[in-house]
Amino acid sequence: MKTIFKQISLLALSVFLVASISSCEATKNANNKQKGAVIGAASGAVIGAILGNNVGKGGNGEMGAVIGGVVGGTAGVLIGAKMDKQAKKIEEEIPGAQVERVDDGIVITFDENSGVHFDTAKYNINAASQATLDKLTGVLREYPDTNVLVVGHTDSVGSDESNMVLSKNRAMAVTNYFTGTKGLSAGRFTTNWFGEQSPVGDNSTVEGRAQNRRVNVVIVPNEKMKEDAQKQADGN
């Protein structure tokens, strides 16, 4: 299995953001909590891992709200350690899936070669996909203090409209399997879809189209995990 660890320096990012907004009067007068919220709004790295070079496409606002900002300081280190353990567990349970640790989140990409398969123009969860999603369900149960974003994509074969519907149906099928069949809390899940708008491979090749027919599962810390980490960091 190939694991990709994004080498993102949160310190450098924070310095850049502070420098870029330091001339803003509202920021100068903001308290530390407000400044932290501005700095923490950088969820773009996770969105970039989902959409590749198509970050400007629709739906990003909803995804950004789900992903949230990067938690800094000691609390961020504590959250990072928990997410690292969870990512390692997913690697062990699901060989072949691409697992990326990006900021505070985990981005899992399933394509035709890595565990979640859809027949051409279909969106039903077949037996092979069920086995993979069952394993991921076990990890999500083990780490309940997270929210999950499911995002569907297609290749460029077919019309834009039909591919948008297909990507929606496939993403919803995954979410419904987690919540309906496996009984995970629906409140943890948000579902999004982009049709053929966000390719990561070359649609003119067979291999590229196979990469583009994919589902992303993004796992991020929920408010409870963040609050618990902050209390621990504060010594409470």
- CATH number at 135 reads 3.30.1330.60
pLDDT per residue over 123-178, tens digit each?
888 888 899 999 999 999 999 999 999 999 999 999 999 999 999 999 999 999 99
pLDDT band at 57 (very low <50, low <70, confident <90, very high): low
> Mean pLDDT over all residues of the chain?
80
Measured at the CA of 27, the angle between CA 223 and CA 63, to 5 degrees, comes to 35
13-41 mean pLDDT: 33
State the Cα–Cα distance between residues 146 and 148, nearest whole angstrom: 7
Helix (H) / strand (E) element for 99: namely strand 98-102
108 DSSP β-pair partners: 99, 217
Question: Does residue 190 surpass a pLDDT of 60?
Answer: yes
pLDDT at 60: 55
Overall number of domains in the chain: 1
Residue 97 reports pLDDT greater than 70 = yes
Confidence of residue 56 (pLDDT cuts 50, 70, 90): low
Which band of pLDDT confidence, cut at 50, 70 and 90, is reported for residue 66? confident
Q: Is the model's pLDDT at 94 over the cut of 50?
A: yes
Question: Residue 59 is part of which domain span?
Answer: 3-234
What is the structure's pLDDT at 175? 97
Residue 29 confidence (pLDDT) above 50:
no
CB-based contact 99:136 (threshold 8 Å): no
Mean pLDDT within 177-195: 96
List the beta bridge partners of residue 191. Answer: 150
The two tokens of residue 206 are 């067979």
Answer yes or no: is pLDDT of 33 > 60: no
Distances (CA, A) of 4 to 7, 17, 90, 97, 198: 9, 25, 13, 11, 20
